[in-house]
A = this chain, B = another copy of it.
Amino acid sequence: MQQKISSDTTRKKKVVDLHVIKVACNECSLHQLCLPRSISGTDLEKLDDIIERKKPLKRNDHLFQVGSTFQSIYVVRSGSLKTYSPTVDGQEQVTGFHLPGELLGLDAIGKGHHPCAAKALEMTSVCEVPFVNLEKLTQELPTLQHQLLRLMSKEIFDDQELMLLLGKKTAEARLSAFLLSISLRFKQRGFSCSEFYLSMSRNDIANYLGLAVETVSRMFTRFQEDGLISAERKHIIIKNRDDLQKIAGINEYCTDQTKKDSQAVL
C-alpha cells in the first residue's frame, strides 16, 4: 500500500509544473477535479503535489496490462488509447476508446487490479494520479471529493450511453451513433465536432461495435455516398448531422444544446 511514485525526487519544482498543468489542462476533464473554483492556493499545491506526468507512450505501448495491480487513475493529456479484454479464443475485445481529457482506470478501484489492458493508439501522453494520495486528499478537501464522485458518476453515465449504442440492432445505427459519440466527445473538449481524425483502425471500430470489418467499411462507403460524412481514411467530416442522428435513432448523442436541454426535462 506504500507508493513508490511520490518518492521520486528528481521531479521538477512544483510551481513550474503547476503552471504547465494549469495551461494544458484547460479543457481536460480532470480540470474540474484538479482546479475547483473554490480551492485555495495552498490546496492547489497539495493537489499538484500528487499528480505525476508519465513519459509519453508510443503507438502500441501499454499504459497498463490486464490484471496489473491498480495504483493510479490516468487522464489522457494528448493522443488516445483503447482498452480491451482478452477473449477465450485468444482474440481481444475492444471495450473503449479514450480521447484527450478522458479518464482511465476507474474500473479498477473496486477489485484492486485492472480488468482490461490499455494500449496507445498513437503517440500519447497521460497524467498519473496515485489513488491513495488522491483519496487521502479528498478527506481534507470536500470539494475535491464531490468532484471525484461526479467524475465517477459521469463515467457510469457515459458507459450506459455506450450500451445504448451497442444495443442498437442495425450496423448503420451503430456506426452513426459511434461517430456522433466521438464527435460529441471532441466537442466537449473544445475540439471541432464536425471534423476530426479517428485514431483507431476500422478493425478496432468493428470489434468495438460487434460488427465485421467489412461491414464497417461498407457503412463508411455508404455514408459517404449518401452525403452524410466525408471519410478520407481516418479524416472524418460530419456533413449531415441531422440525418446521422435519425439513423442512430436515439436522442442521447445530439450535440445541439437545445435538444439536450429539452431531453433533460422529464
Contacts and interface: CB of A to CB of B under 8 A. Distances in A.
Given A163-B95, A163-B159, A167-B166, A67 B263 contact: yes
B210 A166 contact: yes
Contacts of A1: none
A65 B150 contact: no
A266 interface: yes
A228 B96 CA distance: 31
Nearest to A142: B139
A110 interface: yes
A208 B167 CA distance: 6
Interface in A217-264: 245-246, 249-252, 263-264
Contacts of A110: 150-151, 153-154, 157
A66 interface: yes
Contacts of A159: 156, 159-160, 163
A88 B251 contact: yes
Contact of A168 (B153, B164, B210, B212): B210
Contacts of A153: 106-111, 152
A155 interface: yes
Interface in A78-103: 85-89, 93-96
Contacts of A264: 67, 111, 113
Interface in A141-194: 142, 145-146, 148-157, 159-164, 166-169
Contacts of A126: none
Contacts of A266: 65-68
A203 to B, nearest CB: 14
A53 to B, nearest CB: 24
Interface in A92-138: 93-96, 106-111, 113, 115-116, 135, 138
A217 to B, nearest CB: 16
A265 interface: yes
A137 B163 CA distance: 32
A209 interface: yes
26 contacts: A67-B265, A68-B266, A85-B164, A86-B251, A87-B250, A87-B251, A88-B245, A88-B246, A94-B167, A95-B164, A95-B167, A106-B156, A109-B152, A110-B151, A110-B154, A111-B153, A115-B157, A139-B142, A159-B160, A162-B163, A163-B166, A166-B167, A167-B209, A167-B210, A169-B210, A169-B211
Given A95-B163, A109-B149, A115-B161, 6 more contacts: A107-B156, A107-B157, A116-B160, A159-B163, A167-B207, A167-B210
